[in-house]
Amino acid sequence: MVYLKSAEDLLAEGNLPGMEEGKTPSGYGTIEPGEVDLVIVGAGPAGLTAGIYAVRAGLKAVVLEKHIVGGQVALTPVVENYPGFVSVPGKQLMDIMSQHAREYVPVHEGESVDAITLGDLTKDETITVTTSRGKYSTKTVILTTGASYRKLGATGEDTYFGRGINYCASCDGYLYKGKSVAIIGGGNTALTDALHLKNLGVNVSIIHRGDTFRAQKPLQDSVEHEQIPVLWNTVVEEIEGDGRRVSNLKIRNLMTQTVTDLPVDGAFVAIGQKASTGLAKSIGVELKEDGFVKVESDMRTNVPRVYAAGDLTGGLQQIVTAIGEGSIAAMSAFEDISHPYWKK
Q: What is the pLDDT of residue 156?
A: 96
Q: What is the pLDDT of residue 24?
A: 42
Mean pLDDT for all residues in the chain: 91
Please state the rounded mean pLDDT for residues 42-69: 96
Q: Which residue has the higher pLDDT, 324 or 75?
A: 324
Q: Which residue has the higher pLDDT, 192 or 27?
A: 192
The structure's pTM equals 0.76
Of all residues in the chain, the percent with pLDDT exceeding 70 is: 92
Helix 45-56 vs helix 319-338: crossing angle, to nearest 10: 40
The Cα 168–Cα 82 span in angstroms is: 14
Give SS3 for 143.
Answer: strand
Give the residue from 97, 75, 107 showing the smallest Cα distance to 7: 97
Instruction: Decide if pLDDT at 22 tops 50.
Output: no
Half-sphere exposure of 63 (CA within 13 A, CB side): 35
Please state the rounded mean pLDDT for residues 255-284: 95
Q: Which residue has the higher pLDDT, 68 or 190?
A: 190
The Cα 173–Cα 134 span in angstroms is: 44
Instruction: Decide if pLDDT at 262 tops 70.
Output: yes
Query: What residues act catalytically?
Result: 168, 171-172
Task: Find the radius of gyration of the CA atoms of the chain.
Answer: 22
Q: 35-62: buried (b, 16+ CB within 10 Å) or exposed (e) per residue?
A: ebbbbbbbbbbbbbbbbbbbbebebbbb
Cβ burial of 118 (10 Å; 0-12, 13-18, 19+) is: middle
Q: Are strands 135-143 and 127-131 parallel, antiparallel or unpaired?
A: antiparallel
Instruction: Decide if pLDDT at 123 tops 70.
Output: yes
Q: What is the pLDDT of residue 8?
A: 56
Instruction: Decide if pLDDT at 323 tops 90.
Output: yes
The Cα 325–Cα 331 span in angstroms is: 10
Q: What is the pLDDT of residue 25?
A: 42
Task: Indicate if the alpha-carbon torsion angle 30, 35, 37, 39 is positive or negative.
Answer: positive
CA distances for 217 relative to 85, 112, 129, angstroms: 38, 42, 44
What are the backbone dihedrals phi and psi of residue 147, each rounded to the nearest 5 degrees, phi first? -150, 165
Please state the rounded mean pLDDT for residues 234-262: 96
Please state the rounded mean pLDDT for residues 94-101: 95
Q: Are strands 203-207 and 180-184 parallel, antiparallel or unpaired?
A: parallel
Give SS3 for 38.
Answer: strand
